Amino acid sequence: MFYLSTRNEKIRKNPSEAILQGIADDGGLFMPDSFENAQFPMNALSSMTAKEISAKVLALLFAGDGMFTDDESGSTEFWKAVSRAYDGKFDGGDFAPLAKVGDAYVMELYHGPTCAFKDVALQVLPQLVKEAKRVTGMTDEIVILTATSGDTGSAALSGFSDVDGIKIIVFYPEHGTSAVQERQMVSCDGKNTCVCAVRGNFDDAQSGVKNIFASIKLPKGVRLSSANSINIGRLAPQVAYYFKAYRDLLKNEEIKMGDKVNFIVPTGNFGDILAGYFAKKMGLPVGKLVCASNENKVLTEFFETGTYNKNRVFKITKSPSMDILISSNLERLLYLVCGAEKCAKYMNDLKEKGEYTLEKDELDKIRAEFEAGTTDDKVTLETIKRVYEQNGYLMDTHTAVAWDVYEKWLKESGNKDKSVVLSTASAYKFSASVLDAIGESYDDEFDALTKLEAISKVKVPSALDGIKNKKAVHSNILNKEDMLSFVSEMIGKKEWRK
């Protein structure tokens, strides 16, 4: 397997090189050169454990480079890496359990160290980075740069904290996350960690990080990489839970092998839903992938019209992890549909004009695979209340966006296939909004955690228990224009914190 830039197929890297580099030299994202040799053995899926599924997905996507290889497939050593990443890290032991809610299933991806779906990938990524360094013989220090709209930051900090040879800097939008999300990040006390608020929104932080990759002059012995889903090493582990969900439906006798399953995904940066498309390309019988957006509905309008236009008012919503106008991973889908030359043109149009428009045949190809819908804050809160009253199930704001889009899409399409809604964060991470939805009062977001526990009779996740009392050890705030100089200064420091 080789990895090519979405903007220039002449840029060609081994899997380990793609993982370490994070983003291609031309600003493109790395993509597998083909999925033909990465077909999942569906006939064995029913008998595989969750960790075996994850190991097999990683072995298929990162084959041929000597990573974790001790047998013909490499899956044995990948299994050991997955075990190191997951064992003892997820409440209940299952990193992606299915919960039956009404006629659908909810895939709960929030039982990890930071109560968000990013944990599934970001506990694995450090294992991949360390192995990639071994395979390539790299001795340079790696500095991970990450922009976050809330959940990636805390999950990346959890995964990379105090990992030898790696440092991590996380940027998040000031006033753009929940108080719980912010406290999770600023209380991380790893000696190799740095957290910084940016005056602006997520797109400002994300654009700033991309600019740093393109512009920074690094001292000898230092390299940059990313923990965002622009890094293929972050995206690949997410593919596995789509296969696991299918296996669980088989075990529950909800489907038979070969039946199609729909997946409804709340998304802003397009990474999580793209992982589902990767799974389909690897042989999973996926029906429709339904992209659920909040009021920042740039993706919904793209799927409806073929025009991607970021020139609009940025809205701060009750589902802040989806408050994004530049969906970076959409570039990978464009590459698959249009090819590298056209993809590069569209990305340049987005940079120069703030928009681009697909050809009709290109849009038709995308719409054959994807559906899209949107939900506003009012309906999001109404959905939380209604599902709780009807099913006794509490969901966070992001999951509620996906649930409402699922219900509207199901009514319009009449689709009869089994559907799985991805729940990407614990209700406790957005407990204030959840309590607002069900009409309960609270003093602040931290008090809301206690109130939600009393009402739901579900214990506060261990990752959030006592979060209010965790000391903030990071207090950096800067303008987006100063991100480059800030990173340069931090890289020049031998120690970040004693």
Per-residue pLDDT of the chain (498 residues; tens, 9 = 90+): 999 999 999 999 999 999 999 899 999 999 999 999 999 999 999 999 999 999 999 999 998 888 887 445 445 788 989 999 999 999 989 999 999 999 999 999 999 999 999 999 999 999 999 999 999 999 999 999 999 887 888 999 999 999 999 999 999 999 888 889 899 999 999 999 999 999 999 889 989 998 999 899 999 999 998 888 889 999 999 999 999 999 999 999 999 999 999 999 999 999 999 999 999 999 999 999 999 999 999 999 999 999 999 999 999 999 988 999 999 999 999 999 999 999 999 999 999 999 999 999 999 999 999 999 999 999 999 999 999 999 999 999 999 999 999 999 999 999 999 999 999 999 999 999 999 999 999 999 999 999 999 998 889 998 898 899 999 999 999 999 999 999 999 998 988 876
CB 90 within 8 A of CB 112: yes
C-alpha distances in Å from residue 367, one per residue of 133, 292, 306, 328: 39, 14, 9, 19
What are the φ and ψ backbone dihedral angles of 15, each rounded to 5 degrees? -55, -45
- The number of CA neighbours under 13 Å toward the Cβ of 224 is 25
Token pair listed for 300: 């919904």
Contacts of 267 (CB under 8 A, 6+ apart): 273, 291, 292, 293, 299, 322, 327
No. of helices (H) and no. of strands (E), the chain: 19, 16
Please give the domain boundaries of the chain with CATH numbers for all domains: 1-118+231-466 (3.40.50.1100)
pTM of the model: 0.93
DSSP secondary structure, 73-139, as one string: S-HHHHHHHHHHHHTTTSTTS-SS-EEEETTEEEEE---STTSBTHHHHHTTHHHHHHHHHHHHT--
- The number of CA neighbours under 13 Å toward the Cβ of 384 is 31
Per-residue pLDDT tens for 330-349?
A: 999 999 999 999 999 999 99
**Active-site positions?**
118
Token pair listed for 170: 């996380």
